[in-house]
A and B are shown apart, each in its own frame.
Chain A
Amino acid sequence: MAGGARVVASGWGWRHAGRKAWAVAELSFDIEAGERVLVLGASGAGKSTLLAGIAGLLGGDDEGETTGELRIDGVDARSARGRSGLVLQDPDAAAVFSRVGDDVAFGCENLGIEREEIWRRVRRSLDAVGLGVDLDRRTAELSGGEKQRLAIAGVLAMEPRVILLDEPTANLDPAGVLDVRDAIERTVVREGTTLVVVEHRTEIWADLMTRVIVLDPSGGVLADGEPDAVFAQEGDRLAAAGVWVPRHPIGMPLALDAPAGAVVLEADGLAIGRPGAPVVRSAIDLSIPQGHATVVVGPNGAGKSTLALTLAGLIPEREGLLTGAPSLAGRRGQRPAQWSSRELLTRIGTVFQDPEHQFITATVRDELAVGPKALGLGPAETEERVDALLAALGLGALALANPFTLSGGQKRRLSVGTVLASRPAVMVLDEPTFGQDRVSWIRLVELLRAEVAAGTTVVAVTHDAGVVAHLGESVVELTGASQGVALRGRAA
């Protein structure tokens, strides 16, 4: 590969068309060829905009206006496409073709590379990221970590001199995160390519980086220097702004073991699978303790989400039986899958992995009122519940905003709020802390701890070691085998 490129910003700024505020303003830095830079900043500081700018994606006057200069090896970034390659946060959105080989080749084709050379590069890049799959393999069949490595291979094949990563591990399980980091270490570091990474989870990248640049939301640079120096100097301020600063304590007590007691949901010889799809796990015997928090862990593909949907009564058991406590029995008995949608509301509430899937109205306020209205509560009581939740979730100022326009953290809190509004006895959450910055993470976990303290049963599927430590009073592990579950001691 051709080594790295120098990236220089001088007074660079960008304002999206139709916005009043500048996304990035008055930004100046000089990144030498081969430097590896972690870009940090509070959400809304313009980190992703900066990456898009370096990638040359911020162009025409209809998209927005620009000030100053952003140059790669002396060439304006907008005319330097191909010198830089950008990997986006969501690997699902990145695959263009349905087969692995074709997808890696896509970037090379766009750069006008010869056919034989394209396929040489495709094989080399897939080797480099450690993705030893068949070229004809379907991209849809890859795991999250594999998809992200595929996206990196697609960028490597273009042989760019700058590689840009926009939260590349936000959507991955711990194993996937390590694979992606290793792939970058093996390729970028060895080839001397310039690397610019935006990532909340700094601990993964900190030791790989030669420099940290912290963006100031009001424009310019807040701090710039060696990682250790920046974290020592700006650690507190960064942590307060939502950055996961390495070795910065969360300041929350650990969860204690759930004592033996009443059971709210009981699975007996349960086999789970989505309707129309194969059974993903069978022979599950499991008791969910009432009024405590249970976390469900395990690798991708182990059936965690399917188990969550089954426990939540949203999809029926494939075999065996799931029974709710007698106190929860509905008109058609104790099986959650047979409860009506309205009966489910006060019994089991579900927070989906993708919060957008559960939004059904046009404002945050209406969204929180859906549950209480479906329960037939009067306007006064509905309003009271909604107002209390808006305050507790820190969404008061956004009451009239459209749920789809919220930030990731706000959407997640709103989706939890929609469930709290109907005060269910049991809450089932699928990856509640997915992609959260430090501030919203703390807020969310504290909220859930408060619910448990108030007597709600919480079941959370998670990859997040922090959630296990601070919420998991009982830990259920789905192992690689497709049968059964294991109860894990808290010490493990």
Chain B
Amino acid sequence: MSVTTPDISAAAQRTAFLDGVNPVSKILAMVVLSIPLLATIDWVSSTVAVAIELALVPLCGVAVRDVLRRSIPLLAFAPIAGISMLLYAEPGGRIHAQFLLATVSDDSIALAVAVALRVFALGLPTILLFSRVDATELADGLAQVARLPSRFVLGVVAGVRLLGLFVDDWRSMELARRARGVGDAGVIRRFFSMAFVLLVFAVRRGSKLATAMEARGFGADVERTWARPSRLSWRDGVFLLGCVCIMAAATGTAVAVGSFRFVGS
């Protein structure tokens, strides 16, 4: 097997402030950090949020290189979101250019900038908070802190572990199709037939894993214990308060400079 292990094993030292925060708090933090940004649309609040978050990168324990690498999808998506706003947002203010349905106006430029920035403001915290979350740790948190049913939580965690195997399956299937003389053409058709076989694998691996889990007493009538404690500590309080402050600073600045604007207003 050649599954690439996540960065957690590579980053041997787990000493950053964020490593002491419970994963459940991180999920809560995502809600705190995203709802104000989803409900409003202006460029100041997201700029402030992104700026503060970038300043806090050292506390997150994620290497700057990794932040950049994981931001690549954002760099690709932000301009797409921005350009569609630029061309098709409701025109307002001075009109700069017009082509068929597309109109570039003062309002649409402002909106385009705001939307592109928002992609970053929503994506960056996800990268910073969850790059180093371990699936096992998350399961412990969800079951012991958030009190979700253990069957559900462990089932999902075990399922996620299988995803790595699917990557290997896919590569082997690609090679096998080349070996069988059907690898030259028909990319789309090949993709769908491989996707279907992968689905078959998924079901079979899933049921095998379920058997393996039951064979070790999973689902017995006994009250389950947890080998690794998962609790909240003062760090979680400080962390969540910090997240609220970031949002307060972001929206507060926007209100102060008069650019604050709700979605649709």
**Measuring CB to CB, which residues of chain A are less than 8 angstroms from any residue of chain B?**
52, 55, 57, 81-82, 85-88, 90, 92-99, 101-102, 105-115, 118-119, 122, 138, 140-141, 154-155, 158, 274, 277, 309, 312, 314-315, 340-342, 344-345, 348-350, 352, 354, 356-360, 370-371, 374-375, 404, 418, 422
Contact = CB atoms under 8 A, between A and B. Distances in A.
A315 B183 CA distance: 13
A90 B208 contact: yes
Q: Which of B201, B220, B227 has the most CB of A within 10 A?
A: B227
A115 B229 CA distance: 9
B215 interface: yes
The 6 A-B residue pairs whose C-beta atoms are closest, nearest first, are A341-B183, A374-B181, A345-B181, A110-B217, A107-B216, A105-B227
B169 A119 contact: no
A344 B181 contact: yes
Given A88-B211, A118-B227, A370-B181, A352 B154 contact: no
Contacts of B227: 101-102, 105, 108-109, 115, 118-119, 122
A155 B179 CA distance: 40
B201 to A, nearest CB: 7
A110 B224 contact: yes
Contacts of B179: 312, 314, 341, 344, 348-350, 352, 358
A122 B227 CA distance: 10
B136 A404 contact: no
8 contacts: A90-B208, A97-B161, A274-B2, A315-B175, A344-B179, A348-B179, A360-B176, A360-B180
Interface of B: 1-3, 5, 9, 134-136, 154, 157-158, 161, 164-165, 169, 171-173, 175-184, 193, 197, 200-201, 205, 208-209, 211-220, 222-229
A404 B228 CA distance: 40
B3 A93 contact: no
A198 to B, nearest CB: 14
A98 B177 CA distance: 31
Contacts of B136: 97-99, 102
A428 to B, nearest CB: 9
A354 B208 contact: no
A138 B5 contact: yes
B7 to A, nearest CB: 12
Nearest to A309: B175
A109 B225 contact: yes
B5 A404 contact: no
A352 B178 CA distance: 12
B217 A158 contact: yes
B218 to A, nearest CB: 5
A58 B107 CA distance: 66
